[in-house]
Amino acid sequence: MLAIKQGGVTIFVPNEKAFKKLGKQKRSQIEDPRNLEIREKMGSYHIIEEESISAVQLAIEDWIPVGRSKSGGFLGWGAKEDGDIVIGPDAKILQSFNVEGSFVHEVNDLVSPLLLWRYCDQLRIL
């Protein structure tokens, strides 16, 4: 359970489209009880407990891997920054809310590293 400290927290909340984008197989892996530890690890990347951080601060300060989204180019070469903030591998902040001193950022993808998927059990649940 997350204990909210005096300074608040920052939470990155993937929206419904983010989970649909994962596909049925990855959603099954997340829900599989054998992957509880991985699910908790993925969740930990979506919370910064130390402080409440706005989208502007994320762009300026070094809290988590943050970059700018790029468009165009070929296989990444020649792509131009379009100005959107990207958190983790691909998540863009869509909206931000200040809730009682804590920031909640709606994102369009998971913030956790893609590498964590390697550790999920590959068994299918029917």
- Greater model confidence, 92 or 123: 92
Cα gap 29→118, rounded to integer Å: 11
Per-residue pLDDT of 6-62, as tens digits, reads 668 989 999 999 999 999 999 999 999 999 999 999 998 888 887 787 776 766 555
Cα gap 93→110, rounded to integer Å: 11
Cα gap 119→17, rounded to integer Å: 24
DSSP state of 5: P
Other Cβ atoms closer than 10 A to 45: 18
Write down the pLDDT at residue 91. Answer: 82
The DSSP secondary structure of 9-62, one letter per residue, reads -EEEEE-HHHHHHH-HHHHHHHH-GGGHHHHHHHHHTTEE-S----HHHHHHS-
Q: What is the pTM of this model?
A: 0.69
- Greater model confidence, 91 or 75: 91
Beta strand pairing status for 66-71 and 47-48?
unpaired
Q: Is 1 helix (H, G, I), strand (E, B) or coil?
A: coil
Pull the structure tokens for residue 79: 């792509």
